[in-house]
Structure 1
């Protein structure tokens, strides 16, 4: 005879166990809330697993849509390794791209940068707090990352762009070829120079870091269950969601489902312009005694190499395609020969490439805060390229809002009400 699972009661249900969901759960727990976290998979196994490991303190200007016609044409015709589009999908995403292009106008981009700065400038410190609590501080590498170039023209333009960031107080070094080789002795002379951004930090296993934060949450009495977020319902008083361990009930629920957040919000009547930028990675063994000390972005090549626990991770730029369509890792195949030109790589370690989807909103700000038409419905998603960077600081801001504390910054720029009527 089988017995039904008992109901699970909590103060808050957090839907999504990526870096944002785990960080929100931890910060709510720190403020005295009983939290149940739910995901259909394990902790940190979707988008949070496959990034470049950067806590990107130097990215004070959001990644906007290019304003240069030739760059746009190269992207549209799949002539650039760092951006690829599935032409069959383009008609569906064109309205979103048009909005993204409009929001990337110089004035709008500066406003987005100002709105994002309070989150970006606290990104490393908020990770340090959680890593200290979790006993993971030795995982934090305070060495920054290197933006490298193949052509003097590209380097000169990047140096001018970097100089324009002087008001933000960032620390960086302009490197010629010799200085670059001093910091990365095993890179080839194909790279003629670079910029070493020294404020960011990196981690060698982002998915492992998220699991480490979740372990802290569990040690402190939190609970993780498997379940399908689309079973979320509201009876006018409480939120319920079905899990393998039974029905979970709480007065508050957090939607932290990354690129799947709209699948839960849409049935509740919220329309948000959420798109995805898909990305891929694969690991290689370094040849012989070759060592990579920093993540290195080959700007002209359109890829990034990062030293990870598993090996040297090659990550791609952006693929515009449907979130759930079959993986098409053409960018990896295209950039692997270029990666071998700049660093000695052996064979691939992974049997197949990894693919993830970055959740993106066209105004380059995440959604953090309360949904207007449902009591106890909260959102934390849409961090684009900076999910790992902004997970802990997002968790802090959301927890301050949910517990009625004074927030460290004005949360209005991240409100869902800018999209949802």
Structure 2
């Protein structure tokens, strides 16, 4: 089978890239070892975070780092046996998270975020997926005035520098907006720009159906079979082989299965996360996507039930599940909202691919013609899928890219 492009990885980044290429008239084959959207893209909190111009940094306060070291929190957990393997990543992550460096990174990161809603909206409209979208932002709830005041101050800065919008909530406002939420919350912050997705997997599949409608093909295959030819790239997929001029590596935390054999060394860490769906008791209703800011868990009213998501787990990518954060979060969440029974047979787990400078790897490989990278989106894979796909597709097609993507180039790692 011949095609213009092969896209490796059928998560939201890969699906969006394949779709954006197909929208430009390219013949595209999308390849994954599993079905589309069945890995990390299945289990996120469902936010298109237009406000997320500042990527999640590593704590800089020594006292807070010591508290994390106790390993008893909801927002972060680590495996002792993984520490020797992730020390280099964590050290560089900490270094890049210094205030001045972090602010410079945010300025480079912001253009991607600024186009997150508009590029999603184009695909949502074309895919007829409007019923999956809520356009009413999301809320942070605060237990202490110190946390509230600090976050509101930072929100004001982001509004001034990046144009994001928010609204301060009093305790009374919280009671009006979420009458079934209880607890000693002193106030809240309502981010107004973001959109929410009622079923991230269903949205990914809506994009897949649009891709197929435009002539794209979805096949199962092993990315490790990829090899370079005189005219492009070849791999085993489906019942035969596929050849194409261009190939895009969008394999998230598994991208090294392709990049390492080709001689590229990217320092990519993994933040694993968990979720569980719940019913509700006594007719309770959660109206919007809500974060208990100091505790570090999220409640989202998904089509499958109330989705409870955890923070980050630092572990080896393929280590067994250890959903201790979920147990801790559930115990706290039940004091805040009347969660009912668990609806899933076991906790879901996904792995987020993270670079130490908190920005994705987007662009052409420096030493291989027709090889492109699109991975490392950390917490913002869903947010940045369509815009990443668009700029990669534009670059492959020789068009002017929507934004300057030089800040995300692979060469910054010495690759």
* Same-fold call, TM cutoff 0.5: yes
Provide Cα deviations, 1:307-333, integer angstroms capped at 9, x if missing partner. Answer: 000000000000000000000000001
What secondary structure does 2:198 align onto? coil
* Greater alpha carbon shift after TM alignment, 221-230 vs 71-80: 71-80
- 1:161 aligned partner: 154
The answer to whether 1:200 aligns with 2:198 is no
Counterparts of residues 176-255 of structure 1 (less than 5 Å): 176-255=170-249
1:92 CA displacement: 1.1
The answer to whether 1:406 aligns with 2:378 is no
Mapped partners of 1:420, 1:264: distance in 2:
17
Give the CA deviation at 1:304.
0.4
How far apart are 1:340 and its partner, in Å?
0.5
Residue 277 of structure 1 aligns to a residue in which SS? Answer: strand
> Corresponding residue for 2:283?
289
CA contact (8 A) 1:191 1:342 kept: no
Look up the match of 1:105.
Answer: 98
Q: 2:368 aligns with which of 364, 369, 374?
A: 374
Deviation at 1:387, TM superposition (A): 0.1
What TM-score results when the alignment is normalised by the length of structure 2?
0.98
Q: 3-state DSSP class of the match of 1:291?
A: coil
- Normalising by structure 1, we get a TM-score of 0.97
Q: Which position in structure 2 is the counterpart of 1:343? A: 337
In the alignment, the residues of structure 2 paired with residue 350 and residue 166 of structure 1 have an alpha-carbon distance, to the nearest angstrom, of 39
Q: Which runs of 5+ in 2 are unaligned?
A: none
- Deviation per CA, 1:154-208: give whole Å up to 9, x if none: 2122122222223222211111111111111110033232100000000100011
Looking at structure 2, the residues matched to 41 and 166 of structure 1 have their Cα atoms a distance apart, in angstroms, of 41
3-state SS of 2:344 partner: coil
Residues matched between the structures, number: 414
Residue 235 of structure 1, CA deviation: 2.3
Unaligned runs of 5+ in 1: 1-7
Asked whether 1:18 is paired with 2:19, we answer: no
Q: Which residue is equivalent to 1:397?
A: 391
Partner of 2:121: 128
Could you list the runs of 4 or more consecutive aligned residues of structure 1 that deviate by over 3 angstroms after TM superposition?
none
CA RMSD of aligned residues (A): 1.0
Matches of 1:67 and 1:312, distance apart in 2 = 33
Structure 1 position 95 matched with structure 2 position 88:
yes
Quote how far apart the aligned CAs of 1:16 are: 0.5
Q: Does the aligned pair in 1 maintain the 2:55–2:358 contact within 8 Å?
A: yes
Conserved 8 A contact 2:248-2:371: yes
From 357, 361, 369, the counterpart of 1:363: 357
C-alpha separation in 1, matches of 2:372 and 2:69: 36
Deviates more, 1:189-198 or 1:27-36: 189-198
Check the 8 A contact 1:252/1:378 in 2, yes or no.
yes
Q: CA deviation at 1:87?
A: 1.0
Decide whether the 8 Å contact of 1:190 with 1:341 is kept in 2. Answer: no
Preserved contact between residue 226 and residue 243 of structure 1 (Cα < 8 Å): yes
* SS across alignment from 1:84: strand
Give the whole-Å Cα distance in 2 for the aligned partners of 1:157 and 1:418: 33
Matched, 1:31 2:24: yes
2:59 aligned counterpart, secondary structure = coil
Could you say which residue in structure 2 is the equivalent of 1:274? 268
Shift of 1:138: 2.7
Partner of 1:5: none
Deviation of 1:79 after TM superposition, in Å, equals: 3.3
Indicate yes or no: 2:356 matched with 1:385.
no
* Equivalent-residue separation in structure 1 for 2:242 and 2:248 (angstroms): 13
Whole-angstrom CA distance in 1 between matches of 2:259 and 2:51: 32
CA distance in 1, matches of 2:100, 2:404: 20
2:300 is paired with a residue of what secondary structure? strand
Q: Is the contact between residue 23 and residue 214 of structure 2 (CA under 8 Å) also seen in structure 1?
A: no
